[in-house]
Every structure is written in C-alpha cells, then in structure tokens.
Amino acid sequence: MKAFRGFLTLSLCLLLGCGPNTPGHQTNLPDYNTPARSKGKRIKAQLTPGMEAAKKAHDTGHFREAIRLYNRELADEEAKHAPSWVQLSYLHSELGVTLVSSGQYNKALEHHRKSLVITLKQLGPEHPDVATRYNNIGLVHHLIGEYDKAQGNYQKSLAINLKQFGPEHSQVALSFNNIGGVHLQMGEYDKALERFQKALAIQLNQLGPKHHDVAQSFNNIGGVHLQMGEYDMALEQYQKTLAIFLEKLDPEHPRVATCYGNLALTYTAKKDLPKAKEHLGKAHVIFLKKLGPSHPKTKAIKAELDKLKE
C-alpha cells in the first residue's frame, strides 16, 4: 500500500461558537460577576448586526471581511464599562475560528486561549462549551503539526462530551473525527478509519445523509483510502463530499475548493493528469478569489498545478 501525501484536508472539525487551549494559560482579562454554571446548557451570545454580518462573511468564505468585523465587535465590547463575559468568550472564539480559516494559526491560538480562560472561569471544567474550546485549540495544534498537543485537547473535549451527551451525540462524532485526523496524519490508518466510521455512523443517525458534518466524514474516510493507495474508494468518498457541499454551500466556498483539490490529488495518484489539472484549476480559482494568493491552501494548489505543467 502506498502512502500518498495529501496537500489539502477537511479532516478537522472546527466548532463555531467556541474557542480552545489549556487552563494554565493566563491572559489579562477583566473580572466578571457570578459564574453561570448551568450544567450542560449552551451559553448563547446576543448577536449584534455586526456579529451577524461577520458570521455571514465567514460562512460565504469572505474571511478577511469576517476578521475585520469580529475585531471591531470585540473592541466595542472590551470598551464597555462592564463587558459581558458571554459576548467576549463568543467573540474571541469566533475570531479564532475565522483566523484558522484564513491560515493565521498563531493569532487564532491566542484568541481561542482567551475564550477558554473566560469559559473555564465562568462555567467550570465539564461544561460543553469548554469541550468545544478544547476542540478548537486542538485543531490549531493539529494544523501546525503538534499532534501530541492536538490529541490531548481532543481527548479532553471527547471526555466532556461523552459525559454530558452520551456516546451517540453529534458532538461526540466531531471529536472522533478530529482524533481520527491525528491518527491519519501519523500514518495510523486503521485507527483513523475506525474513528471516522464511528463518527459517520453517529452523524447519519443524528443528522441525516445530507448534513455538512456527514460530508466531512465522507471526506475523511476518503483521505484514509487515498493514503492506503485505494484510489477508487477514495474517489467515491470525495465525490460524496463534493455533492453535499455543492448542494449546501456556495459553489465558490473554500470547502468546495478543498473537495476539488482532494479529487485532483486522487486523480494524480491514478495518473489521470487531465482530470487532475481540471480539478486543480477549479480549486485554484476559488482559493485565489476567496483566500488570496498568500494563503497556504492557495500556494499548495499553485505548486501542484506547476508540477503538472512541467
């Protein structure tokens, strides 16, 4: 079996409305009023027009605009005489999510840590929002190749979600997907496939066959087959992913581009260079428009295109 190094991944599940890192990280944050320790109940921020606009910008792939809007909202909240910890935690988290999407991982980690510090203080160590923040910080470590730190945070998130929701919840599935992603990166393909299949089974049961989280799991399973040299099986999974995203997302969303990139990678492995160039071209157009020429994914696609032209 051939290990084929992929240049694109969807195998990381970022949980919007949250942030992450370790409770030992200290930040200069204001003190707040009585902690709201309602067990298992999600804490919801009050969405302002600016926050809604930022979320829309993120969801449509306009990450730079989303970052600008979230930064403005965060500055406005911090300037208040009595800032809301709920609003600050949410804004740091969403800003971290968007910075990850734009490839600014160190800045994302900073905001996820601030969100976690606030959330731990206010809600305690076993709240679902804390689990989400551990997940998101694990994702940043995952993206920069710090797999032990990533796995540690993912496991913390999984433990909380299992306790709060039970083994058949969609949040548990997201944890399995991310843990599987680390196994995949480390070449532990059997462990990765086991986690991804657990996630898919939960998601199909809880969310139905057309949900974007289901698409995520199809993609992840495709990644394992690709690494194992099972190219036809990889294509089948990637095509399922693309079909769902094309139905649910803007056709120029970066996630759609990532699907094209993974299909191209598989066609390259199969020596079908015309199809590889076709899909790489589609991915490059979207990434260039949505992320700009300096984003890591845009650069990766461009490098692959250049190789095929040689």
Domain edges within the chain? 1-165
The mean of the pLDDT values for the chain is 87
Q: Rounded to 5 degrees, what are φ and ψ at 96?
A: -60, -45
In CATH terms, is domain 1-165 a member of 1.25.40.10?
Answer: yes
Structure letter (DSSP) for residue 16: S
Is the pLDDT assigned to residue 47 strictly greater than 60? yes
Q: Rounded to 5 degrees, what are φ and ψ at 77?
A: -70, -45
Mean predicted confidence (pLDDT) in 17-34: 28
Strands, E assignment, the chain: none
**Measuring CA to CA, which residue among 113, 132, 125 is closest to residue 18?**
132
Q: What is the pLDDT of residue 229?
A: 96
pLDDT-derived band at 300, boundaries 50, 70, 90: confident
Retrieve residue 107's tokens.
């800045």
d(CA 61, CA 67): 11
Cβ proximity of 276 and 233 under 8 Å: no
Retrieve residue 308's tokens.
């095929």
d(CA 95, CA 72): 11
Is the pLDDT assigned to residue 113 strictly greater than 50? yes
Cβ proximity of 135 and 13 under 8 Å: yes
Is the pLDDT assigned to residue 59 strictly greater than 90? no
Mean predicted confidence (pLDDT) in 153-181: 95
Mean predicted confidence (pLDDT) in 4-20: 38
**Measuring CA to CA, which residue among 286, 247, 240 is closest to residue 263?**
240
Helix (H, G, I), strand (E, B) or coil at 309: helix
Mean predicted confidence (pLDDT) in 108-121: 98
Is the pLDDT assigned to residue 17 strictly greater than 60? no
The 10s digit of each residue's pLDDT in 188-213 is 999 999 999 999 999 999 999 999 99
d(CA 173, CA 29): 33
Tokens 């306790």 sit at which residue? 163
Mean predicted confidence (pLDDT) in 107-115: 98
Sign of CA dihedral 144, 211, 172, 27: positive
pLDDT-derived band at 41, boundaries 50, 70, 90: low
**Measuring CA to CA, which residue among 165, 141, 144 is closest to residue 152?**
141
Helix (H, G, I), strand (E, B) or coil at 34: coil
d(CA 138, CA 100): 12
pLDDT-derived band at 296, boundaries 50, 70, 90: confident
Is the pLDDT assigned to residue 28 strictly greater than 50? no
Higher-confidence position of 164 and 18: 164
Cβ proximity of 117 and 40 under 8 Å: no
Mean predicted confidence (pLDDT) in 63-82: 97
